[in-house]
């Protein structure tokens, strides 16, 4: 598994990716999704394996990096670290920031490694299953992935679905891939090739965050003092090992589900840790179990999310949507054939993810104090710099100034979407699944000679439709219970 990695170039890429991922994770508002999208144009100079290793190491380390900010300044560096704030910061306030970060580092590493093992075993099984899939099955699977959007985050399921449908709508801009007829181009030649993924992602994540930061200039972060990260004590291990393992399992499972990711995983991991705990009253006041539950789950989701991404070409999270784009840009087609034709490529990725988890443990353990200092870079200096990189990165992919306008447009749109409770993640997932949904639907209709009911005669497709129905019904029922349907 590790053999392809024994080259100084790949190890260097891995090292850089892990460090860069940590920095992105630590900075509130950035994160592995935005960072991955920003660095995607730079990967064009790399070979496919190096490029994907860079993106996956950013994904693993960035997910962990969010915990440092969550513990020290009570602001999640990434959305996946939101649940870590609940107990990480109170524990840090008690003068035990080192213990809180130590627990976050250990549980993130265990969760991450656990999920890579899940990835190694389950991705080939899922890929083999995918050989049974025809166009109708892929359509049903994509619909399942989209309906899962209803349950992401803690936002409104209906708003998530609107955002997902909007994402698919964006994918229809340009020439229709079956008939070459222009759609929504309005005579603009540059739009004939469609709207690129990178301008949309960079706009929705980086530029909209820049606008959000412009509204938060009066916010002052108070950083808790940190002497050094401490390894958890024997007592801590005794208290948390079951939680870490449970959350690793939960995180990996949630990660495998299309469209779900670390944010959902950490919230469920945290609430399950509380439910199973002997001391639930300590949660919210600095419980190490709470930190372990959230952190093991969000890092376990990284490997899990790579399973559908590599085996089926369906992204397991927003960041894996960026990785999927990276694969496609580099001419690698995810799916069952990839496992048959390029096993060494896949094992390179698996091995890299495993090493990235070990590396962020080392960097996190010895360098958390240094990484925490990055949060001191003032926004008034940081964001203009991020803007410069975003603009050049977006321009560089197809050397089109129109892409930069599109990025700015989606930045403003993303800001207002977030302001009014629409998550931007479904737009990204919808955009990446759009072509698959439309293509497989139209081909299925041809296969079925226009008879839509024929979908119901395909057992796998039917199973996915039933799962889609459950995926839609569950969050709606839950939201109705919590009165959070809108």
Partner 1 sequence: MNNVRNKKRANKSLPFFFRIEFRVFFTIILISTILLISTFSFDTVPPILNRGIQPATFPKGLLVLIIVLTSIIYYLSFKKPWKNEKNLPKPFFLTILSFIIFIIISKTLDFFLAISVLSIFVSYNWGERRIFYLLLVSIIFPIVVFIFFEMILGLRFPPGIITNLYYY
**Footprint of partner 1 on this chain (CB under 8 A)?**
41-42, 44-45, 156, 158-159, 161-162, 165-166, 168-169, 172, 176, 178-179, 181-184, 186, 210-211, 214-215, 217, 378-381, 383-385, 387-389, 391-392, 395-396, 399, 401, 404-405, 408, 411-412, 419-421, 438, 441-446, 450, 483, 485-486
Q: Please identify, using beta-carbon distances, which residue of 134 and 367 lies nearer to partner 1.
A: 134
Nearer to partner 1, 208 or 325 (CB): 208
Least Å from the CB of residue 394 to partner 1: 11
Question: CB of residue 380 vs partner 1: minimum separation in angstroms?
Answer: 4
Question: What is the nearest approach in angstroms of partner 1 to the Cβ of residue 382?
Answer: 9
Instruction: State which residue, 235 or 449, has the beta carbon closest to partner 1.
Output: 449
Our CB check for partner 1 shows the closer of 103 and 170 to be 170
- Residue 93 to residue 285: CA distance in whole angstroms: 10
- Cα 299 to Cα 110: distance, rounded to the nearest angstrom: 8
Residue 123 or 417 with smaller CB distance to partner 1: 417
We find the least distance from the C-beta atom of residue 483 to partner 1, in angstroms, to be 7
Output 46 or 245, the one with its CB closest to partner 1. Answer: 46
Please measure the distance between the N-terminal and C-terminal CA atoms of the chain and give it in whole angstroms: 47
Chain center to CA of 108: 15
In the complex, what is the shortest distance from the CB of residue 182 to partner 1, in angstroms, rounded to a whole number?
Answer: 7
Smallest separation, CB 5 to partner 1 (Å): 24
Distance CA 480, CA 486 (A): 9
Q: How far is the CB of 185 from partner 1 (least distance, A)?
A: 10
Minimum distance from residue 85 beta carbon to partner 1 (Å):
19
3-state SS, the chain, equals CCHHHCCHHHHHHHHHHHHHHHHHHHCCCCCHHHHHHHHHHHHHHCCHHHHHHHHHHHHHHHHHHHHHHHHHHCCCCCHHHHHHHHHHHHHHHHHHHHHHHHHHHHHHHHHHHHHHHHHHHHHHHHHHHHCCCCHHHHHHHHHHHHHHHHHCCCCCHHHHHHHHHHHHHHHCCEECCCCCCEECCCCCHHHHHCCCHHHHHHHHHHHHHHHHHHCCCCCCCCCCCCCCCCCCCHHHHHHHHHHHHHHHHHHHHHHHCCCCCHHHHHHHHHHHHHHHCCCHHHCCCCCHHHHHHHHHHHHHHHHHHHHHHHHHCCCCCHHHHHHHHHHHHCCCCCCHHHHHHCHHHHHHHHHHHHHHHHHHHHHHHHHHHHHHHHCCCCHHHHHHHHHHHHHHHHHHHHCCHHHHHHHHHHHHHHHHHHHCCCCCHHHHHHHHHHHHHHHHHHHHHHHCCCCHHHHHHCHHHHHHHHHHHHHHHHHHHHHHHHCCCC
d(C-alpha 209, C-alpha 459), whole Å: 44
Q: How far is the CB of 438 from partner 1 (least distance, A)?
A: 5
**In this complex, which beta carbon is closest to partner 1, that of residue 137 or of residue 438?**
438
Contact status, residue 60 vs residue 54, Cβ threshold 8 Å: no
**Quick one: 104 or 191, whose CB is closer to partner 1?**
191
Closer by beta carbon to partner 1, 328 or else 485: 485
How far apart, in whole angstroms, are the C-alpha atoms of residue 441 and residue 433? Answer: 12
Report CA 294 to chain centroid distance, whole Å. Answer: 15
Query: Which of 276/452 has CB closer to partner 1?
Result: 452
Nearest distance in Å: CB 433, partner 1: 12
* Residue nearer to partner 1 on the CB measure, 477 or 486: 486
Smallest distance, partner 1 to C-beta of residue 210, A: 7
Closer residue to partner 1, CB minimum distance, 214 or 279? 214
Quote the least distance from Cβ 331 to partner 1, whole Å. 19
Backbone φ and ψ for 169, nearest 5 degrees, come out as -60, -40
């Amino acid at each position: 598994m590790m053999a392809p990695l024994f080259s100084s170039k790949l190890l260097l890429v891995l090292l850089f990716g892990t460090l860069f991922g940590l920095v992105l994770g630590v900075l509130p508002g950035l994160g592995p999704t935005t960072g991955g999208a920003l660095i995607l144009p730079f990967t064009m100079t790399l070979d496919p394996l190096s490029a994907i290793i860079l993106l996956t190491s950013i994904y693993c380390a960035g997910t962990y990096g969010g915990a440092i900010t969550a513990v020290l300044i009570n602001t999640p560096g990434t959305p996946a670290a939101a649940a870590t704030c609940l107990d990480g910061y109170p524990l840090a306030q008690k003068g035990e920031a080192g213990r809180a970060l130590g627990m976050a580092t250990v549980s993130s590493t265990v969760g991450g490694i656990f999920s890579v093992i899940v990835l190694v075993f389950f991705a080939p099984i899922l890929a083999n299953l995918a050989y049974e899939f025809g166009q109708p099955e892929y359509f049903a699977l994509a619909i399942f992935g989209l309906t899962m959007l209803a349950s992401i985050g803690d936002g409104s399921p209906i708003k998530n679905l609107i955002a997902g449908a909007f994402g698919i709508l964006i994918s229809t801009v340009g020439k229709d891939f079956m008939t070459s007829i222009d759609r929504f181009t309005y005579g603009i030649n540059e739009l004939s090739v469609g709207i690129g993924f990178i301008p949309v992602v960079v706009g929705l994540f980086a530029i909209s965050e820049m606008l959000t930061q412009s509204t938060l200039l009066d916010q002052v972060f108070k950083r808790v003092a940190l002497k050094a990260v401490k390894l958890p004590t024997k007592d801590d291990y005794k208290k948390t090992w079951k939680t870490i393992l449970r959350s690793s399992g939960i995180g990996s499972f949630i990660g495998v589900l299309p469209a779900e990711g670390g944010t959902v995983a950490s919230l469920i991991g945290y609430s399950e840790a509380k439910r199973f705990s002997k001391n639930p009253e300590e949660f919210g006041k600095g419980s190490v179990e709470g930190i372990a539950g959230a952190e093991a789950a969000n890092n376990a989701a990284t490997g899990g999310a790579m399973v559908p991404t590599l085996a089926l070409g369906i992204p397991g999270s927003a960041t894996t949507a960026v990785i999927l784009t990276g694969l496609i840009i580099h001419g690698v087609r995810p799916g069952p054939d990839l496992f048959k034709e390029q096993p060494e490529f896949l094992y390179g990725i698996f091995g890299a993810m495993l090493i990235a988890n070990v590396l962020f443990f080392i960097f996190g353990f010895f360098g958390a104090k240094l990484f925490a200092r990055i949060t001191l870079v003032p926004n008034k200096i940081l964001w203009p710099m991020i803007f410069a990189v975003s603009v050049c990165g977006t321009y560089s992919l197809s050397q089109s100034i129109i892409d930069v306008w599109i990025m700015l447009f989606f930045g403003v749109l993303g800001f207002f979407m977030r302001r009014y409770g629409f998550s931007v993640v479904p737009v990204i997932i919808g955009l990446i699944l759009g072509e698959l949904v439309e293509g497989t639907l139209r081909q299925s209709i041809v296969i079925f000679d226009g008879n839509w009911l024929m979908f119901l005669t395909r057992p796998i497709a039917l199973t996915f439709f039933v799962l889609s129905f459950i995926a839609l019904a569950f969050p709606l029922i839950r939201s109705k219970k919590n009165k959070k349907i809108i």
